[in-house]
Amino acid sequence: MQAPSWWTASSAMTALSRQKRIRCMIALVAAMAVVSITSSLNWPILSEALRNQGYSESMIGINAAAQFAGIILVALAAPRVIPALGFFKAIVLGLIVLAITLIALPTFRSFETWLVIRFLLGMGNSLLFTTGDTWMNLIVNDRVRGRWMGIYVTVGMAGWAVGPVLGAYLDPDTYWPFVWGLLAIVVAAGLLLPTRRLDVRLRVSEQGVALGLVAVFLAAPTVLLASAMFGVVEGAMQSFAHLYTMDVLGVQFRQTGYAVIWVGAVAAIFFQYPIGWLADAVNRNWLLIACVLAMMISIFLFPLLVEGGRDAWWEPQSLALWTVVSIWGGSMGGIFTVGITLLGERFRDVELVSANAVFSVLFGVGGLLGPFLTGTAMSAIGPAGFPLSLLVAVVAYALFALYRQFTRR
């Protein structure tokens, strides 16, 4: 789409040689994958630690929501902050904030203190991933955008899969989960170093930023609201999927609860490149809707099959359970892959920074609401509140997306 008149952007990114672009992409993909380990480890570990302290699901949801409030705040500021700092410095600042929070979390364990720390944790995550997603999208060509974003998300999902595996064997009431998170941040910082000489800055007028966030949303409401729905499901799944599984099966199935999270993440690894390839071959809007419908069906089937978690993996109901969890994780990752691919197709330069900012803001709003509403539902009606609350969100978005697609001129 044509950039509005209030945008002024540098074309330095397009001037990078092919070799430099590849170096940027490899470093970004690797760094984001490693730092994803920290994010996917924190959510379930913190929820379990709070439950061990005696807090209800609704209180756990409120605590998790603080993290998404931080995501929203930084995402709103991203169109000013990222052009001012440049991509490399913005990511480094995000890593520093994450490191500070990982030191603070095991040191100060009160509910109120964790609200503040998780707010800062959300700020660091938001700065990291909004910057990384934008930088990656600016580097790639639209002809192969879907495939490259598929690779980017695939490797990132590999990082997401590692966190819950570690969490299943780490005591949430010790320092060790946070030590592993800090180690991941140090490795990510080292991987990112090759990009420091390939940084670019984008310029934008002060007036343009304020207008841009609204204009960007109006230009692509379907893909941007997909981020909000994704945030609801992601936030609730990371915070409560393992707790729901333990509620249904018993606390002795703790590792099965964590397996629900990591199996979904592992499945997403294998789904993303094929979905990215499809995004370059078919209508991307219909592909987004297909991923949403697949996730909706999976969430519906999950509580009907969860008892299979008691059985050996080769038993029919257990196989059915893990197949459904795999489709859930793969289609959820596909929503993100297709979503950021559509953003790269429709927006350019600093406009793309604002588009990714709105994407992150709405992800944060969804993530803030998801744990709160799911936790409240579970406190009110029991474990069934987990799948029911997710189904309401996904069905509502699916109806909106289908309406938009069928009425599109």
Q: Output the pLDDT for position 359.
A: 86
pLDDT tops 50 at residue 2: no
Looking at the chain, the whole-number percentage of residues with pLDDT higher than 90 is: 35
3-state DSSP call for residue 204? strand
3-state DSSP call for residue 7? strand
**Mean local confidence (pLDDT), 56-83:** 87
Q: Output the pLDDT for position 309.
A: 87
pLDDT tops 70 at residue 9: no
**How many of the other CB atoms lie within 10 Å of CB of 406?**
7
Taking the C-alpha atoms of residue 224 and residue 361, their distance in angstroms, rounded to an integer, is 9
Question: Phi and psi of 403, rounded to 5°?
Answer: -60, -45
Q: Which residue has the higher pLDDT, 10 or 14?
A: 14
Lowest mean pLDDT among 43-52, 102-111, 210-219, 284-293: 210-219
Name the CA radius of gyration of the chain, rounded: 20
**Mean local confidence (pLDDT), 377-400:** 95
3-state DSSP call for residue 12? coil
Q: What are the DSSP calls for 263-327, one per residue?
A: HHHHHHHHHHHHHHHHHTTS-HHHHHHHHHHHHHHHHHHHHHHGGGGGS-TTSHHHHHHHHHHHH
- How far does CA 376 lie from the centroid of its chain? 22
Q: Output the pLDDT for position 208.
A: 47
**Mean local confidence (pLDDT), 51-68:** 89
pLDDT tops 90 at residue 350: no
Each residue's pLDDT tens digit, 135-166? 887 777 777 777 787 788 778 878 877 888 88
**Mean local confidence (pLDDT), 16-34:** 76
- How far does CA 249 lie from the centroid of its chain? 28
**How many of the other CB atoms lie within 10 Å of CB of 167?**
27
pLDDT tops 50 at residue 64: yes
Select from 279, 258, 297, 379 the least CA-distant residue to 336.
Answer: 279
Select from 389, 353, 359, 362 the least CA-distant residue to 374.
Answer: 389
Q: Taken in order 321, 166, 154, 9, is the CA torsion positive or negative?
A: positive
Question: What does the buried/exposed string (b/e) look like for 26-64 if buried means 16 or more CB atoms within 10 Å of the residue's CB?
Answer: ebbbbbbbbbbbbbbbbbbbbbbbbbeeebebbbbbbbb
| Residue 66 and residue 42 in contact, taking contact as beta carbons nearer than 8 Å | no
pLDDT tops 50 at residue 84: yes
Cα–Cα distances (Å) from 332 to 46, 151, 230, 288, 377, in that order, read: 22, 15, 7, 10, 22
Q: Output the pLDDT for position 212.
A: 65
Both ends of the chain: CA-CA distance in Å? 16
pLDDT tops 60 at residue 10: no
Q: Which residue has the higher pLDDT, 13 or 28?
A: 28
Domains of the chain (ranges; CATH) run 16-407 (1.20.1250.20)
Q: What mean pLDDT, rounded, does the chain reach?
A: 84
Q: Which residue has the higher pLDDT, 2 or 63?
A: 63
Q: Output the pLDDT for position 303.
A: 94
